[in-house]
């Protein structure tokens, strides 16, 4: 009993420790002024109100959302059928797919963004400075999460037997996929999409180097106003944090 209570306190201690930065940021974003005193001098929601009236912030947030959602739509449209085709028709390609999806981890984002800058600055596809280059770039970031989650889900549901059963009951391969396979990998797909969404929303290196201020995303905006009020940037960080928390909650609800 004594040992159990001790372990509980250790866990609570760690949780409290991890919560300190978030709580401090929250408190800072709610404080009117917090300088030479231990506690803030008065609380206010002014920073959040200012945030909601800042057009530049709203546009940057909209850009981030648009790119993340667009990327995930593209990734879903491309990767769901691709993963199914690999698993059903060419299972031996799985090991090659695993190599392909891991390649992006082998090159640091700064290095690959320099390469992408050289490739797409001019030539037949001058995309640098446009959201299109981020769309393609972010697709490769979402790729491993989507492919692995979907491939594992297909394996887990016994895809071959389900397809055989559906075929014998008169379904074409397309209908078997739509009626049987897709609903059964929905949870894995949703989990992978929301995980990728959180990652993409927080991506900074590619966004800053490939597009910068020409199509400002949330993190580029945050970086550019770093020298202004700390209370204001804290409010942005907290807004982002709460938004991600809500998305995660929705993802958990949908995955049930």
Positions touching other proteins (CB under 8 A) are: 157-158, 161-162, 164-172, 175, 179-180, 183-184
Residue among 27 and 171 whose Cβ is closer to other proteins: 171
Beta bridge partners of 31: 43
Closer to other proteins by Cβ: residue 42 or 183: 183
Q: Minimum distance from CB of 94 to other proteins (Å)?
A: 20
Q: SS3 string of 114-139?
A: HHHHHHHCCCCCCCCCCHHHHHHHHH
DSSP string over 33-82: --SSSSS-SSB-SHHHHHHHH-HHHHHHHHHHHHHHHHHHHHHHHHHHHH
Rounded least distance, CB 188 to other proteins, Å:
13
CB of 77 to other proteins, least distance (A): 21
Q: Running DSSP on this structure, what letter comes out for residue 107?
A: S
CA distances from 253 to 85, 185, 194, 243 (A): 29, 15, 12, 15
Shortest Å, Cβ 80 to other proteins = 16
Backbone φ, ψ for residue 207 (5° rounding): -60, -40
Pairwise CA distance, residues 189 & 4, whole Å:
38
Nearer to other proteins, 128 or 190 (CB): 190
List phi, psi (to 5°) of 31.
-90, 140
Residue nearer to other proteins on the CB measure, 179 or 241: 179
Q: How far is the CB of 249 from other proteins (least distance, A)?
A: 23
Nearer to other proteins among residue 20 and residue 169 (C-beta): 169
């Amino acid at each position: 009993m004594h040992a159990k209570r001790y372990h509980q306190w250790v866990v609570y201690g760690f949780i409290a420790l991890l919560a300190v930065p978030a709580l401090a940021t929250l408190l800072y974003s709610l404080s009117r002024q917090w300088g030479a005193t231990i506690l803030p001098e008065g609380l206010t929601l002014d920073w959040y109100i200012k945030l909601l009236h800042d057009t530049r912030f709203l546009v940057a947030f909209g850009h981030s959302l648009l790119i993340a959602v667009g990327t995930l739509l593209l990734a879903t449209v491309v990767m769901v059928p691709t993963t199914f085709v690999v698993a059903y028709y060419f299972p031996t390609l799985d090991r090659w797919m695993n190599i392909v999806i891991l390649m992006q981890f082998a090159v640091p984002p700064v290095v690959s963004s320099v390469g992408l800058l050289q490739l797409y600055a001019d030539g037949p596809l001058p995309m640098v400075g446009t959201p299109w280059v981020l769309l393609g770039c972010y697709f490769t970031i979402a790729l491993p999460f989507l492919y692995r989650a979907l491939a594992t889900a297909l394996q887990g549901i016994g895809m071959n037997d389900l397809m055989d059963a559906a075929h014998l009951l008169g379904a074409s391969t397309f209908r078997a996929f739509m009626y049987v396979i897709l609903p059964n990998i929905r949870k894995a797909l949703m989990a992978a999409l929301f995980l990728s969404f959180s990652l993409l929303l927080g991506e900074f290196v590619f966004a800053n180097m490939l597009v910068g201020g020409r199509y400002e995303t949330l993190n580029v905006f945050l970086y550019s106003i770093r020298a202004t009020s700390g209370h204001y940037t804290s409010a942005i960080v907290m807004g982002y944090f709460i938004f991600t928390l809500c998305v995660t909650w929705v993802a958990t609800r949908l995955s049930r």
